[in-house]
Structure 1
Amino acid sequence: MRTEFYSSLSQNFSQLLEDADDYNVTIKVGENQNTQEFRAHSTILRARSPYFKSALSNQWANKKKDGMILFTKPNISSPVFTLIIKYIYTGILDLTNVSSSDILGLLVASDELILEELFKHVQNYLIEKEAAWLNQNLVKVLLIVSKLASCKQLQDYCYESICTDPEPFFTSKEFPILDKDIFLELVKRDDLGIKEIDLWDHLIKWGISQIPTIIQNDVKKFTDANFRDLKKTLDPFISHIRFYEISSKDFFNKVRQYRKILSLELFEDVMSYLMAETEPQYKRLPARLSINLPESKIIRRRHVVILSNWIRQMDSISTKNKYKFQLLYRGSRDGYNINTFYSKVNGQGQAIATIKIQNSEKIIGGFNASGWNWNYNPNYNSYNYGYYNNRNPDNNKNHFIFSFGENYEIKICKFVSGTGLYYGNNCMLAFGDGDLTFSGGTGSCNQRSYDQPILDVNSFVAEEMEIFSIQKIMI
């Protein structure tokens, strides 16, 4: 019989960190007035971190003083290293009351120190728990994570968020400091959901902000040198602009005055296409895809971004899908009759259910990964309701339920055990063994099958309820 006592082991190592008098490593973190020294044991550091294993090897030139190994890490802040050293010694990470900026700093530091387990956890935590902060700081976050090769998941999240709702990103005050390579990656994408003329406007503003010698925004006052500098700055972007998708009016009013930064051949070709409808001689890029948001009374574009990213994580086929939300059912429009409900949603594939709580900013709902699939019985003019109770974990693992707070903070509740989804003649929605049930305008939430409750109360009244089918758009 094998017994594991990890709790006491973690506690003992915590005491070793706090009270040790036999340490042989000193690590100084931070810079200027915000520095702090940490004491550690080389044996533990080597065992827990490949970075320190190499750094403490005989081949690494360590700075020593009185037999003590010294490290300086000015790029890691004291609050961040406090979390790291506790994780190294105890395996414990507590992000309660830790600022979002420090959590991002923890991601960067864990990548540098090759703490793969910690890195993966923090990356997932940022996406799952800090979505609102990420979406408000996309320029800052992308500037940092674009330099981390291991951070593909968070990079993709940021790019997808921008492509789905680009206007807040392009109009943010941080936009002028955006790195050229990041901006170019966005301009190349077919799924950037923005009008081409608006993208052109943002590109021009960004380009002008990169050139200190351009001291005015009035293009009529630009010198030849100004145009040469602007052309050099924007030249990598020009071939990725869909000029043929811009209207003749917008091209005349907003592009024509910048013709000096375009090749004469391209300018004449676009003008010929727009004015005389001639066949383009240059490669015509396809129009960009954009998310067609339903006329929802509950969710907004940012909700769609966040939910799409979660659905994408559940998608075992492709991580490159975009999703179109198609309204199937609305309570205030279609009524809360269960037969009507099933006639709208049955056989429509994967779907998202959303509910706006009455007298609250809360939005709750669930992702039905399998869809509603009941056979219509013409003899009874209704659906053949049975009790669907699938306890196969493989069939339930992709369902999830969720709640949104006032500032888009999302809580995702994952299936653990029991029933992932059931439906029958007494309910419209039933996720889990009571975790989220709804019918006739009211519902209840009693955690049983999912890992956490989505509401702090057990019952609720809906202000509105909507069901959307989830249609994949391959890119």
Structure 2
Amino acid sequence: MRTEFYSSLSQNFSQLLENADDYNVTIKVGENQNTQEFHAHSSILRARSPYFKSALSNQWANKKKDGMILFTKSNISSPVFTLIIEYIYTGILDLTNVSSSDILGLLVASDELILEELFKYVQNYLIEKETAWLNQNLVKILLIVSKLASCKPLQNYCYKSICADPDSFFASEDFPILNKDIFLELVKRDDLGIEEIDLWDHLIKWGISQTLTIKQNDVKKFTDADFENLKKTINPFISHIRFYVISSRDFYNKIRPYKKVLPLTLYEDVMSFLMAENKPQQKRLPARFSPYLYINLPESKIIRRKHAAILSDRIHYKNASSKTSKEYKYKFQLLYRGSRDGYDINTFYSKVNRQGQAIAVIKIQNSEKIIGGFNASGWNYSYRNSYDDDDEYDCYNDRNKNHFIFSFEKNYKIKIGKFVSGTGLLYGQDCMIEFGDGDLTFNGRKGSCNQRSYDQPILDVNSFVAEEMEIFSIRKL
């Protein structure tokens, strides 16, 4: 019978790392004032890392001092190498309280040191546990991981995240410095969820920032040299722009001013197609397909197109992670915004009443959370501005089984509360919004969530203060 005592082995090697006086390797990591020396044993390093096996071989020239082998790794920080050396000696990795940037540094270092097991684990950890941080830093992360051949899963995650929510990516202050190859990879994708004319706008913005000889953004002031230099910058992208799906109005207003950066035959062919409906002679790429392109969402201060697509899927009884079918297109119409219209209850009902199915979204103050509810019947509230003792406000309990409440985390993970029994949606004089028997109530800027009528709570706290609130009617086109 075979028995393995890995726990004791790991503990013993941990003591060897901490207390040994027979080490023969010194590794200096970090740079400038942030350097630290680590002591190690060449035999252990060779056994655990193919990199060190080569580096410590007779064929690799190593700097020695008093019989000690010296290494300098200025590109690896002290916190990162602390994790690596503990992993090498004990097989233990503890990422508790480790910053996201250090975890990314650990990924890069484990690739350099050919620690394959550690590399695979850290890459999966970033994708599964650090999604919010990844989505906030996509440009910087792609610049790093695009250089790592073994980092395809993380590269793919970043590209898919951008395709799903391109608006925030292109609005990033880092976008103008985006690497050309990375941007080109995005433009080639069929699933990039952006209108083609918007992509053109971003391409021009990026191209101007990358062309240092252009000193102004006003195309009317461009010289022939400016156009020629911009053409060289964006030329690799032109064949991947779907010009034939752009409206004639947008082509005239936004592309025609940059006519000089396009091949003349392409320009004339698109003009012929758009203005005279002639058959294209140039290669015509199909329209991009992304579920988020099939959502008509006006400017919102709270939600993005991906939020709207996920909610639309839920309304049509689909799994929230599935793709919206191409046969459906949804229009979200802004009916009410708290910061614009005020939080008076009568004003609220004058804006939203009898407008059909509607979605309420609330951004919680000092939080990344978005909560809200789907009113499957629409607000149909009969109210009076004044009443005497004989009159009452018309209160009505709408028990439509398709009502639901929800909350979004920053990484678009949604939590749904389904209406079960009791109060579905209450129209009353006290609250603007009242889903369930207290499951989601809101009036003014304050609200509460106490689970009773819906199958699960949408918040971990019972009360909240809103930063903003919006109501959208939703219709299938």
Shared fold, TM over 0.5: yes
1:408, CA displacement in angstroms? 3.3
Contact 1:294 1:325 in 2 (8 A): no
1:28, CA displacement in angstroms? 0.8
Shift in alpha-carbon separation, 1:227–1:92, aligned structure 2, 3 A: same
1:287, CA displacement in angstroms? 0.2
Does residue 408 of the first structure (1) align with residue 411 of the second (2)? yes
State how far apart, in whole Å, the 2-side matches of 1:168 and 1:142 are.
15
Matched residue, 1:398: none
1:93 partner amino acid: L
Task: Give the aligned CA root-mean-square deviation in angstroms.
Answer: 3.4
SS at 2:123 equivalent: helix
1:172 partner amino acid: S
Matched residue, 2:420: 440
State how far apart, in whole Å, the 2-side matches of 1:461 and 1:118 are.
46
Contact 2:47 2:53 in 1 (8 A): yes
SS at 2:76 equivalent: coil
Contact 1:129 1:409 in 2 (8 A): no
State how far apart, in whole Å, the 2-side matches of 1:302 and 1:108 are.
31
1:244 partner amino acid: Y
Matches within 5 A, 1:38-437: 38-292=38-292, 323-325=322-324, 406-408=409-411
Structure 1 unmatched ranges of 5 or more: 307-321, 327-355, 364-402, 413-428, 430-436, 443-458, 466-475
1:214, CA displacement in angstroms? 1.0
1:84 partner amino acid: I
- Deviations 1:163-211 (Å, cap 9, x if unpaired)? 1111100110000110000000000111111000000000000000011
1:301, CA displacement in angstroms? 5.7
- Deviations 1:110-130 (Å, cap 9, x if unpaired)? 111111110111011001100
Contact 1:131 1:410 in 2 (8 A): no
SS at 1:191 equivalent: coil
1:281, CA displacement in angstroms? 0.7
> When the two structures are aligned, how many residues end up with a matched partner?
344
1:295, CA displacement in angstroms? 11
Matched residue, 1:381: none
Shift in alpha-carbon separation, 1:409–1:257, aligned structure 2, 3 A: closer
Structure 2 unmatched ranges of 5 or more: 311-320, 326-360, 372-405, 423-449, 457-477
State how far apart, in whole Å, the 1-side matches of 2:100 and 2:453 are.
32
State how far apart, in whole Å, the 1-side matches of 2:148 and 2:225 are.
37
Normalized against structure 2, the TM-score is what? 0.66
SS at 1:324 equivalent: coil
State how far apart, in whole Å, the 2-side matches of 1:217 and 1:438 are.
50
- Deviations 1:232-286 (Å, cap 9, x if unpaired)? 0000000100111111100100000101111111111111111000111100000
Contact 2:80 2:106 in 1 (8 A): yes
- Deviations 1:334-383 (Å, cap 9, x if unpaired)? xxxxxxxxxxxxxxxxxxxxxx9xx99599xxxxxxxxxxxxxxxxxxxx
1:4, CA displacement in angstroms? 1.8
State how far apart, in whole Å, the 1-side matches of 2:76 and 2:308 are.
35
Contact 2:107 2:119 in 1 (8 A): yes
- Deviations 1:376-412 (Å, cap 9, x if unpaired)? xxxxxxxxxxxxxxxxxxxxxxxxxxx9874338699
State how far apart, in whole Å, the 1-side matches of 2:222 and 2:254 are.
15
State how far apart, in whole Å, the 2-side matches of 1:404 and 1:92 are.
36
State how far apart, in whole Å, the 2-side matches of 1:166 and 1:144 are.
20
- Deviations 1:7-64 (Å, cap 9, x if unpaired)? 1211111111111111111111111111111110001001111111111111111111
1:248 partner amino acid: S
State how far apart, in whole Å, the 2-side matches of 1:203 and 1:27 are.
45
1:440, CA displacement in angstroms? 2.8
Contact 1:302 1:408 in 2 (8 A): no
2:410 partner amino acid: N
Query: Larger radius of gyration, structure 1 or 2?
Result: 2
SS at 2:291 equivalent: coil
State how far apart, in whole Å, the 2-side matches of 1:441 and 1:159 are.
42
1:408 partner amino acid: N
State how far apart, in whole Å, the 1-side matches of 2:63 and 2:213 are.
46
State how far apart, in whole Å, the 1-side matches of 2:188 and 2:176 are.
18
> Quick one: higher RCO (CA 8 Å, sep 6+), 1 or 2?
1
